[in-house]
Amino acid sequence: MTPLDTKITFLVLFTVLSILFSVFNGLVINWKNSTAEKAERLSFAWHGVGLVMHVLLVALIAFIGGWFWAIVAFLLNWLGHNIIIAMIMGQKWFYVGKTAWTDKLIRRILPFINFDK
């Protein structure tokens, strides 16, 4: 297997695992059997753990395949993650929220896109 084949195989495996991870998390987010206080704590913990997992996976890819592949994997993962969760939550596939710091950043960077229509 050539180095390029190894990187592509690794990227495909990472993408499949990311999709499965996103589906699992989307289902967890949709769980409605919690109090408002508990839901807020769970949301904060879920976002924190998710951030750490994504950062570690991107760092692993950068270590193995270099920063180009790490950036490609990060962008594909983030896009797929958001689309899958939005669809599970009954939102449009391009949904961008209004409360998370990442959503606010996206809205600030892309002010010409109407995410609320």
- Cα separation of 46 and 6, whole Å? 32
- Predicted pLDDT of residue 31: 66
Rounded distance, CA 8 to CA 2, Å?
A: 10
Q: What is the 3-state secondary structure (H, E, C) of the chain?
A: CCHHHHHHHHHHHHHHHHHHHHHHHHHHHCCCCCCHHHHHHHHHHHHHHHHHHHHHHHHHHHHHHCHHHHHHHHHHHHHHHHHHHHHHCCCCCCCCCCCCHHHHHHHHHCCCCCCCC
Low-confidence ranges of the chain (pLDDT < 70): 1, 27, 30-32, 117
Span 77-104, pLDDT tens digits: 888 888 888 888 888 888 888 877 778 8
Model pLDDT, residue 1: 67
Q: What is the pLDDT of residue 74?
A: 84
Q: Are 25 and 84 in contact (CB under 8 A)?
A: no
**Residue-level pLDDT at 11:** 82
pTM given for the model: 0.60
According to the model, what pLDDT value does residue 34 have?
75
pLDDT for the residue numbered 30: 67
